[in-house]
Structure 1
Amino acid sequence: MWEYLVHGEPTPRTKTLLKGLGEALERQGFRLNPEAEAPNLVLNAISPENPKPYRRRAQATFVASVLEVPDYPQDPLRELYPYLVRALSNVLLAYAPGRGVKFLTLELGHYEEPEGEGFYERVAERLRPIACSRLVIQNIFEPDLEPELWQGDELTQSLYWAGKKLKEWDLLPAPFPIEEILPPEDLRHVKRLYGIGGLSYGNLSVRKDQRRFWMSASGVDKANLREIGRDILMVKDYDPERNAILLSVPPHIEPRRVSVDAIEHWMIYREHPGVGAILHVHAWMEGVPATPFNYPCGTYELAQAVAEKVRQAEDPTRAVVGLKNHGLTLTGRSLEEILERIEGKLIRTVPMT
């Protein structure tokens, strides 16, 4: 059974919301446990004056912070995202009494659930996939990369070229200035929790051989992928017992973490030998099949959902998969081939539903 708890000091109207939401969660299989050390979900009541975080003891705990607002702001990312980050949340629920809840995700998604019939159930259904997902963000670095690859190869050159092309197409939005929002201690805590070196959007990879692939690192400038072990990493496997991504790095490098989507790419490469490259961008295309839930990045469940859509594609080596409220994952024989297929066809704004 999944467990949840309520944290913080809710306003009277937020208290009513949390009561109704808690009852809906319990109908969906959760149990309230105020003493849980590693709950699946924390409903964290915050205020604009004091967006106090819930300090997790486990990466598996997802935090939904709840903030009462008089109305939805015109620019929710600019005005509300800082509260999500300051409260060290996976998702922020901005509650406008009488109107509903606007969700903001760490990946910059935002969408609404209006008040009315089934309101609490609908909000609970939004939270359940988030709370029950399993993060795969642990990295195990092994200093066994072949010396002839320490400076990269023609494949890492293709990653560098593709990153430059994405920059030309304006598909690498500027990272949200997380370091300007959080004090150093909290910034370190966020990096440990989410396995990120910053909030950087999109990722790309190319197959090296039957079992390995090169992939962009987390939190790096995708328009300048140069250094092996820091900007580009060699993924060699996934260890299910340790729930960790295994990477080969040069012995003289202090490596960065690989992109949190490495588990997704690993699943696709493992199942489809014809896939030579994978690209993820925060953009959209009309009529694409999409995952059913807004699973968090870096979770096994998101990877499974994307892999299933790739499997269902007419040609898995040329698949285009929508990630609900988030962006696209595309497969191809090479990065050049993927970019050629999608040039001029992308919609910059991802539909939020």
Structure 2
Amino acid sequence: MNTFTINGEPANSFTQWLTEGIKQTFSSKDFIYMPSPEENVKLVFHLTDNENPRPFRRHSQATFVVSIIVADEYPADIHKEAYPYLIRTLANHLMYVVHTKEETEIYFLTPEQGRYSITFASGQSDEDTFGKIYERLEPLALSRLVINNDYYEDLPEPLWEGDEVTGSLRDSGKKLDSLNLLPAPFPLEEVLTERDIRHLNKLYGIGGLSYGNLSARKDGSNFWMSASGIDKSNMNEVGKDFLYISGYDDEKKSMKVSIPPKIKPKRASVDAIEHWMIYREHPDVGAIVHIHAWMDGVEATQFNYPCGTIELAENVAELVSKSPDPGRTVIGLKNHGLTITGRDLNDIFDRIEGKIIPQVPMH
């Protein structure tokens, strides 16, 4: 059952119109409106106070939160001014709405730093306006997260200090940094209280927010991958910087991670499910790199599904399968970045050298 609610009270007549239009449109599209937030509600539109933004404290990982900010003038830098609202409200998505007499522009921002916008001229039909909002959000709101980890202290002792594969990951992380392809991790502690950081860590296991990742196959469908929330230009320790992904539990929707004994591990990257699907289906793929950048002429996903969702993983894996050479291809993630496969990490860097566009196009 697809349920949704609107949390908070409209501050003015425009916000009243906006929320009522959202309510009517989603109710007409097989979503069931819940007058008050239930524990397992699927989608929450969270009206946010510009001066005092507070999080909607979801109880379930499956709850998709869209925070809404309404402003009456355009920001000088939309990302710099709006992105902190996304983080402060612990949202999956942010609608930053700029409403003027002439037009209304809605910026949609994602935790992966994706951004795109829709502009509506004054007098445009409500049906068209809210239809486009629904079209943007529905695929994302119904996507399914795979971000849990099951740890097993069964990593073979010869791998406790790493191997030639982790060595290649270490070198490649430094190479990403030298190419300026590692955006600085977002400083959560600057915009969140200690209580909110604890809540975020409890619900999602997130202790930091960094971007991009890389992996390399060890054997079969097992692979080494950079951990979540780390400085990928300085990876050294097995279980903390390098994680050995040994499988996926479909019933629990959890990644299996093998670690040395008596170590407090970092979490696997949210993209581990995507990498696992690709390695499982394509034996000729030896390495995968994900970056927040772009290349001309790449095949791209239709929707900007959130990282760590089955839908994104399946979409990317399907495009890899359809490419002329799945073992050496570049797939675009809409409003997000690139997933690149190769025989090994050196093969990937040799092929993309001089072709990377730092700015991801937004649509």
TM over 0.5: yes
Q: What pairs up with 1:1-353 in 2 under 5 angstroms? A: 1-12=1-12, 13-35=14-36, 36-97=38-99, 98-115=103-120, 116-117=124-125, 118-353=128-363
Deviates more, 1:22-31 or 1:303-312: 22-31
For 1:34 and 1:237, the matched residues in 2 are separated by 41
Pairwise CA distance, 1:288: 0.5
CA contact (8 A) 1:8 1:52 kept: no
For 1:44, give the aligned amino acid: H
Gaps of 5+ in 1: none
Pairwise CA distance, 1:178: 1.3
Deviates more, 1:176-185 or 1:343-352: 176-185
TM-score by length of 1: 0.98
For 2:90 and 2:290, the matched residues in 1 are separated by 25
Q: Residues 5-55 of structure 1, C-alpha deviation per residue, up to 9 Å, x if partnerless?
A: 010122221121111112222232211012432111100001112212211
For 1:170 and 1:146, the matched residues in 2 are separated by 35
CA contact (8 A) 1:65 1:92 kept: yes
For 1:263 and 1:193, the matched residues in 2 are separated by 19
For 2:205 and 2:118, the matched residues in 1 are separated by 29
Q: CA RMSD in A?
A: 1.1
Deviates more, 1:317-326 or 1:172-181: 172-181
Give aligned-pair identity as a percent.
Answer: 53
For 2:298 and 2:198, the matched residues in 1 are separated by 37
Pairwise CA distance, 1:196: 2.6
SS of equivalent residue, structure 1 residue 127: helix
TM-score by length of 2: 0.95
Deviates more, 1:5-14 or 1:55-64: 5-14
Q: Residues 230-256 of structure 1, C-alpha deviation per residue, up to 9 Å, x if partnerless?
A: 000000000011110000000121000
SS of equivalent residue, structure 1 residue 125: helix
Gaps of 5+ in 2: none
Q: Residues 154-185 of structure 1, C-alpha deviation per residue, up to 9 Å, x if partnerless?
A: 00000000000000000001112111110111
CA contact (8 A) 2:330 2:339 kept: yes
SS of equivalent residue, structure 1 residue 52: coil
For 1:233, give the aligned amino acid: L
SS of equivalent residue, structure 2 residue 219: coil
For 1:52 and 1:16, the matched residues in 2 are separated by 22
For 2:312 and 2:111, the matched residues in 1 are separated by 15
Pairwise CA distance, 1:199: 1.2
Do the aligned partners of residues 195 and 321 (structure 1) sit closer, same or farther apart at CA in structure 2, a change above 3 Å counting? farther
CA contact (8 A) 2:197 2:207 kept: no
